[in-house]
Amino acid sequence: MNVNALKNFSLRWLSLSALVLVAFCVLMFALLTWKVMQQSQHGLAALEQVNVQQSSSLNRLHIAGLEGLHRLDRALERQLRPSLGDPAEALQAVENELSEMTVSLTSFLEATANTSYETRRDAIEQQARSLIAIMYEQLNAVQMGDRGGYRQLTLDALAHSQAFSEEARTFYQLADRQGIDLMTQAENRAQSIGQLLLLGIGLAFGLLGLMAWIGQRHILLPINRLISHFRTMAGGDLSVAVPQQGNNEIGQLYQALDHMQRALIDTVSELHGNSRHIFDSAQRLALGNEDLAIRTRQQNASHEATAANLDELTENVATTAGYAADATQLTSTAAAQSQEGSQTMTEFLTTMQEIHTRSKKVDEIVNVIDAIAFQTNILALNASVEAARAGEQGKGFAVVAGEVRGLASRSAEAARQIQALLATSASSIERGHALSTQASQGMQAIVASTEQANSLMLQIADAASEQHQHIEQLNATLHEQTQVNRANTRQVETTAKDAMSLEAAAERMREQAARFKVANNMACDDFVWQASQAVPAEHPSDNIQRAQALLQ
């Protein structure tokens, strides 16, 4: 049987086989022990039969015979000399000895039945029965008081006792030899059993060694290799291929490890690619955020400049409104004076001179208003340009700037009309010096002109006040936009920091993935990032719009 074929056997089957072999060895040892015990019991029984039953029965028979002869002599002496004791008691003791001899002979015959020395047994039986018979005759002779017959029987009894002793001695020697033979057989059996035990122990150790070798080669060694492979994988080396290890449980464990290693290689490869993709995306995001931050700062600076211009424009418009109020007051005074000029001619000349003087002042004021309107128009034009630069956020500001520009145009037009009216008034005053007859009509014309001028100045004052309110609203809106731009700048800077943190995290993730070493055909370092995998590049303005949408 090929040893490598054990790789395909189930560990359960191998364990069961080892258990069966161990159980078989234990069973064989148990059977051998039982056999040894049976043979030992048989040998002990045979030895007991020889040394205990046979020899002890024969020994009791021999002793009882000698004791019986001795008691017969004592019984005879007591009959001859009653002073020595009761003869009946001595005779009873002889009968007891004869009974003991009979019982011992029976026990001996039973113990020696079916033995290999029946001839010697028969000779002992014959001598014993002859001795018992003679001793009964001696007992009768003692009871009868026949001393002569007793002596003759005693000689025969001694001869039979001597013969019985010789037979018994021979039997003892035979029993000793048989005991020695039994001991020799027991020793030989013990030696054979010891050899079998040594052989069994050697076989058991051989089986245990084989089982240990199989366990070491097909269980412990593959498990140690498996542990070593796990340590290699834990160290980051995934390039070592998982060997094939049969179809048993160990082999299935190796197959599962191979599947796990392949899945881990795929995961590491994907992690490496994704980390590079995230790293590149984080770099582009950081660059876009940096560009967005620069443009947001520029936009914030532009808004601050526009806010400063609007502050200056607000102050100018407030000054214009003050001048318009002064002009309105002057035109009202001129109208009152023109009404009074119609009362007297003397006062007319004086009044005309005052009107002429004040008309010059009004002309100067109108020139100032015209200059303010021109400057307001220029500032409104600059505001429109800045609103156009602001794009979508400056639409409302452009509308207000257009309204301011319209009010400035209307103010300039009203100033030109006032100049024309003042020029006409001056001509009328000059002609009033020459034409007193036309003074009344001229005064009426002056009154009408001053009233119209007063109305126009009221309109200019109202327009300037409204313009001032709109510019203040525009200024407040621009300040709010400036705050929003500052918040956008802070948010963009925070986003840039997050992008840099993401870039650093992606780099660390790529380094963690790069520490794994895989096979050449599946190496992580062979991965090349493709541009098609990245997010399409966008214009910086698109990045700004996307950041604003995220903030909203």
- Name the pLDDT band for 442 (thresholds 50, 70, 90): low
Res 6: pLDDT:
55
When mean pLDDT is compared across 25-34, 263-272, 521-530, the lowest value belongs to 521-530
The phi, psi pair for 237, rounded to 5°, reads -95, 110
Distance CA 500, CA 506 (A): 10
Q: What mean pLDDT do residues 52-58 have?
A: 73
CATH number at residue 134: 1.20.120.30
Question: Residue 49 carries which DSSP code?
Answer: I
311 and 416 co-located in one domain: yes
Q: Is residue 281 part of a domain?
A: no
More confident residue, 267 or 327: 267
Res 4: pLDDT:
59
The count of structural domains within the chain is: 2
303 and 180 co-located in one domain: no
More confident residue, 144 or 6: 144
Res 338: pLDDT:
65
Distance CA 326, CA 464 (A): 13
- Name the pLDDT band for 54 (thresholds 50, 70, 90): confident
Say what percent of the chain tops pLDDT 70. 75
pLDDT digits (tens, 9 = 90+) for 99-125: 888 888 888 888 777 666 677 778 888
- Name the pLDDT band for 198 (thresholds 50, 70, 90): confident
When mean pLDDT is compared across 72-81, 193-202, 268-277, the lowest value belongs to 268-277
Res 463: pLDDT:
77
Res 540: pLDDT:
44
pLDDT digits (tens, 9 = 90+) for 211-249: 777 777 767 777 787 788 778 877 777 777 777 766 666
Res 405: pLDDT:
75
Q: Is residue 90 part of a domain?
A: yes
Res 257: pLDDT:
73
CATH number at residue 390: 1.10.287
Cα angle at 131 between 128 and 137, to 5 degrees?
145
By residue range, what is the domain housing residue 155?
A: 3-210
Cα angle at 216 between 211 and 221, to 5 degrees?
155
Res 335: pLDDT:
65
Q: Is residue 222 part of a domain?
A: no
Last residue of a domain, one of 210, 229, 259: 210
Res 162: pLDDT:
87
Neighbours of 109 (CB within 10 A): 16
Encoding tokens for residue 50? 């020889």
Go through 305-325 and write b for each residue having 16 or more CB atoms within 10 A of its CB, e for each that does not. ebbebbeebbebbbebbebbb
pTM for the structure as a whole: 0.35
Q: Is the pLDDT of residue 49 over 60?
A: no
86 and 200 co-located in one domain: yes
Q: Is the pLDDT of residue 73 over 50?
A: yes
Place of tokens 């002596």: 151
Q: What mean pLDDT do residues 521-534 have?
A: 44
60 and 174 co-located in one domain: yes
Distance CA 506, CA 510 (A): 6
Last residue of a domain, one of 190, 210, 230: 210
- Name the pLDDT band for 286 (thresholds 50, 70, 90): confident
Q: Is residue 385 part of a domain?
A: yes
- Tell me if residue 10 falls in helix, strand or coil: coil
More confident residue, 351 or 73: 73
Q: Is residue 163 part of a domain?
A: yes
Beta bridge partners of 517: 237
Looking at every residue in the chain, the average pLDDT score rounds to 74
475 and 367 co-located in one domain: yes
